[in-house]
Amino acid sequence: MPIRLGVNVDHVATLRNQRGERYPDPADAAFVAERAGASQITIHLREDRRHIRDRDLAILRQTVTTRLNLEMAATQEMLKVVFEHKPDSATLVPERREELTTEGGLDVAMHRENLKRYIRQLREAEVWVSLFIEPDLDQVRAAHKVEANAIELHTGKYCNAAMRADRAEELARVVDAAKAARRLGLAVYAGHGLGYHNLRPIAAIDEIEELNIGHAIIARAVVDGLDRAVRDMVACMAEARESRASG
């Protein structure tokens, strides 16, 4: 199965907002990313609007030609946003105002009843719902019980592991969680901390259908250009999947 790339363009907005300018525009970045092979554009509309803003979402909803994935907290404010703009998919993530980036997965098991009601409303709006979770079997089972369509496995611990043995252990957790999710009928995605140097073992996991990557691509684009950055990431993922199939 081919593996898809979702490009997160949040940090294009971060750069714009740093100077209070109107550029660079996330919509321009999304256009280049799609042209270069991205299968999806991902954005995170945070409560404090630190990067992506409501205007960005409105424009991207009109201009993205692949799929628009909205990362969001499970709040009533975000529910209204979804009903207004109708993204193709919504990925529910934990959110703390003081964090630099999303620091971990959503605790679905702890908030199961509230999430089940929230997800039901999203699905009634015909929005595909994914939950950003740790590669933990209890969380996978909880995601299935709250009737999510998909999970996105948090790969941060795998990416940050300094020792080879620790990284192997974290990779095994991702593999086990992906296999369990597929058996339960969930679509399986992954993301967080992935870059050109570490994604191959993740991209080679057959059950994972999609990777969402932002920082590594935007950082590469600063030097080499966004078109090349996206094309290189797509090629890297495809090579990982092909080598898995031939092995």
Give the C-alpha separation, 110 to 114, whole Å: 9
Nearest CA to 10 out of 91, 114, 86 is that of: 91
Distance CA 27, CA 10 (A): 10
Q: Is 117 exposed, middle or buried (0-12, 13-18, 19+ CB in 10 A)?
A: exposed
SS3 191: strand
Task: Assess contact for 208 and 190: CB atoms under 8 A.
Answer: yes
Q: Which of 11, 144, 154, 192 is catalytic?
A: 192
170 labelled catalytic? no
Active site residue 51: no
Cβ atoms of 92 and 132 closer than 8 Å: yes
The active-site residue out of 34, 71, 134, 152 is 71
Given the residues 11, 44, 144, 154, select the one marked as catalytic. 44
Q: Would you call the peptide bond into 24 cis, given omega within 30 degrees of 0 as the criterion? A: yes
71 a catalytic residue: yes
Kindly give the residue spans of alpha helices, DSSP state H, lying in the chain.
10-19, 26-35, 54-63, 76-85, 112-124, 137-145, 156-160, 164-183, 200-203, 215-224, 226-246
Q: Which of the residues are catalytic?
A: 44, 71, 192
